[in-house]
Structure 1
Amino acid sequence: MDWAQLDVNPKVVAAVRRANIQSIKEILCLSGSDLQRLTKLSSSDVRYLHKTVAAVVKSDPVVTALQMYNGECPFPTQNRKLSMGCPVLDLLLGGGIPLMGITEIVGESSAGKTQICMQLCLSVQFPSSYGGQDAGAVYVCTEDTFPNKRLQQLIAFQSMLRADVPADIVNNIKFGNNIFIEHVADVDSLNHCISKRLPILLSRGLIRLVVIDSVAALFRCEFGASDSIAKAKCLQKFGAMLHQLSHRFSSPIICVNQIADAISGSSLAQSNFGLLDKVLPALGLTWSNQLLMRLMVSRTQFCAEGKFPDDKVRALNSGTVLRRMEIIFAPHLPQSFCNYIICKEGVRGMKETGI
């Protein structure tokens, strides 16, 4: 290394060289007493050397708890979120989906899981100042064919759904060209997609969101009841690969999961904090430990005509099914819920929330 970049006395540099210390890393790895013994320097010189070397190599400034509490933490990646494309749902989730980690959307059939994922694929393409990542998304299908017709409908209504974004920005985004569709039929194909294809797209900056719909389909088909150990190892490996991608490229991973019947009164049912009475997310505890956040979506009832978010959708969607999104667990959010509807414009949250 170039010792000239250190603002220390030349005699200190000479002593370090005589001790055959070759790098800054070695200095930081040695305790004060060990460094003093090797270099024969005074304790004050050793303390100053440690302080100077630390100042050279540090990449981020020290942050106090008060700065973090006031939202002044200079770590934009940790503070930023991916918008859900709806201000009400963003409010529920504290700004949206965290950029690093695996978020699971679990629910019954027709609860709106795929609709939410498609809306996220559009939201990620907006500039960061509007809750996006200014990049595309990969949608990995493991079950049915991708609902391309519905996606085109959502694209057509983006200007209405994202009224907070200027029209010229919406019109300049080529939504259809920035969503990459991958079809996988087995676990090996899924692992190949995650380990080989996705890193290329992420490293080139083409995508900043990965959606897997659904993760349970393949594992349910390929692993039987007697293959629990092999299934657990495969899920752990799968989760580790997703976490590595998410943290390396600061890109959220959205995994859609299915539900299974729960035995009433069982310890498994109680582990969901009373929010789930008859159903549980599939894949068990091994998969749950891989997640940062779990969202449960469900159908509840038909929406009353007077409760739509705004007048534009009230006339178009009378009798729409009311759905609910619940936060089952998240390290930064309390358990809460929000009702929403799915209309032509997309997923629209209702203003009533509860905790």
Structure 2
Amino acid sequence: MTSINVLGLPTSVKDTLIKASLDTVEDLLLYTPPGLSNDIPSARYKRQQVAKGVSSGGYDRLVNLTPSEFAFAYDQAAAHIFENKIAYGSAHDLLQDESWLSLGDPVLDAAVGGKGIMTRTITEIAGESAVGKTQLCLQLCLTVQLPESMGGLDGSVVWLSTEGKFPYNRLESMISQFVEKHRDDVPDMDADIIRENIYYDSMADQETQLHIFNYQLPILVHDTYLNQEDDDDKEENQEEEQPSVLRKKPIKLIIIDSITNNFRSELTVGNSAPDQAGNQGSKAGFRSSILQRSADICEIGLRLRTLADQYGLAVVCVNQVTDVIAADSTFHPPPLSFRPLLQTRDFPPAFYETGKMKKPALGLVWENTINARLVLQRTRLPDPYETDGYAQSASREPPRTLSVVFAPWSGHNRSSDPSQPGHCWYKIDETGVVGISTSNY
């Protein structure tokens, strides 16, 4: 994001644009086309600006600008983008601009491509209950605060929950382990700083969820970046002898746990009736609710992808799974310790979990919204494998596997070998989610 201070605009024009929250070159090009001055403040313009958190007073200030002033500002912004090659470049240049967020363990990172998950994308973590989805997200809350040289993004995180209370007790135990682990590499790491850089909010229903995604979340992300710039300016003016104050980092990660819960709980079917007309009305009501759910999913996906791309952050969404009714009821999973992902006639691919066929919820609409899908599984070792030394020492704890279903930065396969790219074993201990090398199995 480039401040409009770099443009050669008259002070009055620049101040007016900043007061209307058009404070970057990208915002000026996106929200202020040359013809916009003819109908300011239009309803469309207001809706777009409200999503950024602009007060209604900002629109009135823009009315004072003439069409020629708008055109001049727009031309200056377009020239700056072109001359500095901000809007175009080679594929190699775009790849160099991407950042990576480690999953907090080298084995897990290797399974998903070597570096972790990519920023500017939406990554889904799907699986049944008790496989460690929330545990992995808590680990990401800590990893994102590390410097980029250590696999982090040197940023803060927003945790949006639809499933009740935040797992604060588990986070506290992981923080103490995390600080101790990185004490030598990051001497100034402190538990209080880690807590201050984790934002939390609850989304009890779909209405609250949409409001947060449309209004509160964009404002919060935008404000953390503005505060970061102000803090950097203050640090430059401070004397070296003065102690550094507690500084909040810009948001670099958004976690939704889970994206599915509100859509499942609020999907309603019309009232049933004994007559044919009543049944037709019930079907119409059901179709209407499905269409509305699809529209809400698309809107949420658009908001998240816009934030991810605009601020270079990562988005992680936890997804639940649903049963798949197979046409052949006599088919059974193969007796393997690692049960592979299987492609069925149904889309998306299904997988076997505790002897049942499962697939991620929300269907094709959500699948086309996300960029990557990771599946966590928890399976029971067959008898031939329970004689292994690790299985004996694990107190018969069911092994867990992480699998990449699809990701633009990672390889994946349909084999049953967890040593291949796209798969790995993992366990959960007091430190968090820990990958297990295949040599231990």
User: 2:124 is aligned with what amino acid?
Assistant: E
- Which residue number corresponds to residue 148 of structure 1? 168
Name the SS for the 2:366 alignment partner: helix
- Which residue number corresponds to residue 430 of structure 2? 344
1:235-254 maps to which residues of 2 (within 5 A)?
A: 235-254=297-316
Structure 1 residue runs of 4+, over 6 Å off? 302-305
Quick check: 1:77 aligned with 2:97? yes
Deviation at 1:224, TM superposition (A): 2.9
Name the SS for the 1:338 alignment partner: strand
Q: Is the 8 A contact 1:186 1:218 kept in 2?
A: yes
Q: Give the root-mean-square deviation of aligned CA atoms.
A: 3.3
Deviation at 1:60, TM superposition (A): 7.7
Match of 1:124 among 144, 153, 162: 144
- Which residue number corresponds to residue 271 of structure 1? 347
Quick check: 1:207 aligned with 2:269? no
Deviations along 1:302-325, whole A, 9 cap, x unmatched? 7978549xxxxx98x655442111
Name the SS for the 2:399 alignment partner: strand
Deviation at 1:177, TM superposition (A): 1.4
Question: If each structure's strand is expressed as a fraction of its own residues, which one has the higher value?
Answer: 1
1:151-190 maps to which residues of 2 (within 5 A)?
A: 151-159=171-179, 166-171=185-190, 174-190=193-209
Q: Is the 8 A contact 1:272 1:328 kept in 2?
A: no
Match of 1:90 among 109, 130, 137: 109
Deviations along 1:124-150, whole A, 9 cap, x unmatched? 011111111111111111012111000
Identity fraction in percent: 31
Name the SS for the 2:208 alignment partner: helix
User: 1:236 is aligned with what amino acid?
Assistant: C
| Unaligned runs of at least 5 residues, structure 2 | 1-6, 9-70, 226-249, 270-285, 329-342, 413-421
Deviations along 1:164-209, whole A, 9 cap, x unmatched? x715154487211111110111111111212222223322233211
Name the SS for the 1:254 alignment partner: strand
Q: C-alpha distance in 2, partners of 1:229/1:268?
A: 25
Quick check: 1:224 aligned with 2:310? no
Name the SS for the 1:84 alignment partner: coil
Stretch moving more, 191-200 or 294-303 = 294-303
What number of residue pairs does the alignment pair up?
Answer: 295
Quick check: 1:109 aligned with 2:171? no
- Which residue number corresponds to residue 326 of structure 1? 403
Name the SS for the 1:157 alignment partner: helix
Q: Is the 8 A contact 1:121 1:179 kept in 2?
A: yes
Match of 1:56 among 62, 83, 98: 83
Q: C-alpha distance in 2, partners of 1:108/1:283?
A: 14
Q: C-alpha distance in 2, partners of 1:54/1:243?
A: 22
Q: C-alpha distance in 1, partners of 2:155/2:308?
A: 15
Name the SS for the 2:187 alignment partner: helix
Name the SS for the 2:313 alignment partner: coil
Deviations along 1:30-65, whole A, 9 cap, x unmatched? xxxxxxxxxxxxxxxxxxxxxxx99835248854x7
Label 1:174 to 1:286 Cα distance change in 2 as closer, same or farther (>3 A).
same
User: 1:295 is aligned with what amino acid?
Assistant: L
Deviations along 1:299-355, whole A, 9 cap, x unmatched? 1237978549xxxxx98x6554421111111123222211100000110011229xx
Query: What's the TM-score, normalizing by structure 1?
Result: 0.73
Q: C-alpha distance in 2, partners of 1:331/1:86?
A: 20
Query: What's the TM-score, normalizing by structure 2?
Result: 0.60
Q: C-alpha distance in 2, partners of 1:121/1:154?
A: 10
Q: C-alpha distance in 2, partners of 1:179/1:246?
A: 18
Label 1:110 to 1:350 Cα distance change in 2 as closer, same or farther (>3 A).
same
Q: Is the 8 A contact 1:86 1:162 kept in 2?
A: no
Label 1:273 to 1:233 Cα distance change in 2 as closer, same or farther (>3 A).
closer
